[in-house]
Structure 1
């Protein structure tokens, strides 16, 4: 069964927060960008069956606003917050994806840089997919960007580096 992983970097966040990095909120531009990202994802037919999201405030809010922008009620979409996606690094983030329910054919992963770019490139090793898109991911992964990966694994638990094809990228500035 073909599966799609949409790797999303959280929207633009405010600098600093008295509660620390984990509690940073979205900047006004980030609020706008997250909704626009959701509209783009809906337009591409990339509605999620499951959302894996870092426990950080800015990623949770990005996921909520993107779901609303996509025309979905966030309360109706299974969402799994994961501390591993916040601070676990590439291997822990991949492990969180590998635990996804196999009934989910499209999964959104909302996380942080540099893990989102590194994970995207590792999954597409040896840079399978559109060469220009691979280069764009390698050059940077701006806030509110989404990388679209297709894989033919039978189960999310089988997703390992090199088992996906990078087929799309939506940087924030594409509106």
Structure 2
């Protein structure tokens, strides 16, 4: 069976409100423009998630809300454990997924590290190592279920950053 993971870093967030905690930071105007662009790109390419695992931070929730307006409706789980998670925690959450195509939205540095660790071969895109805000990797795995997915088993299908879509 082929499983597909769409791994997205949250869109650009706002640092202007000193009263907000990091967890409460919202998207800035650039982020609110970028997230729907990524959603439209996913829809145009046929990368249609059937389930979503999203950090419970405000900026990841907003990224999902804006991105998903361009996609068919899907169930979403807002996971506190994904907030600034390391790759092992993110992989553990992914292994609980049931749908064949899963969208995961998280934070750097964990999401960039997870993307690199999941793939057999690194992506040659110049922005892959930085994994800028709203960067999105689409990877496939030849596995019976998500519990069987491990590091160094994925194949990259696509990678994009929002500025390429503007």
Decide: shared fold, TM above 0.5. yes
- Contact 1:34–1:69 (CA under 8 A) maintained in structure 2: no
Residues of 2 paired with 1:142 and 1:88: CA distance? Answer: 17
Residues of 2 paired with 1:26 and 1:136: CA distance? Answer: 21
Q: Where does 1:60-71 land on structure 2 (aligned, <5 Å)?
A: 60-70=61-71
Residues of 1 paired with 2:40 and 2:128: CA distance? Answer: 21
- Does residue 27 of the first structure (1) align with residue 22 of the second (2)? no
Residues of 1 paired with 2:150 and 2:128: CA distance? Answer: 18
Q: Higher helix share goes to which structure?
A: 1
Residues of 1 paired with 2:144 and 2:151: CA distance? Answer: 15
- Contact 1:6–1:109 (CA under 8 A) maintained in structure 2: yes
Residue 78 (structure 1) aligns with: 75
Residue 59 (structure 1) aligns with: 60
- Contact 2:3–2:101 (CA under 8 A) maintained in structure 1: yes
Residues of 2 paired with 1:69 and 1:155: CA distance? Answer: 27
Q: Give 1:106 shift.
A: 0.9
Q: Give 1:89 shift.
A: 1.2
Q: Where does 1:24-173 land on structure 2 (aligned, <5 Å)?
A: 24-70=25-71, 72=72, 76-101=73-98, 104-125=99-120, 127=121, 131-133=123-125, 136-138=127-129, 140-173=130-163
Relative to the length of structure 2, the TM-score reads: 0.93
Q: Give 1:69 shift.
A: 2.5
Q: Give 1:16 shift.
A: 4.9
Name stretches of at least 5 consecutive residues in structure 1 with no aligned partner: none
- Contact 2:85–2:107 (CA under 8 A) maintained in structure 1: no
- Contact 1:153–1:163 (CA under 8 A) maintained in structure 2: no
Residues of 1 paired with 2:74 and 2:3: CA distance? Answer: 17
Name stretches of at least 5 consecutive residues in structure 2 with no aligned partner: none
RMSD: 1.4
Residues of 2 paired with 1:30 and 1:59: CA distance? Answer: 11
- Describe the shift of the 1:162–1:31 C-alpha distance in structure 2 as closer, same or farther (beyond 3 A): same
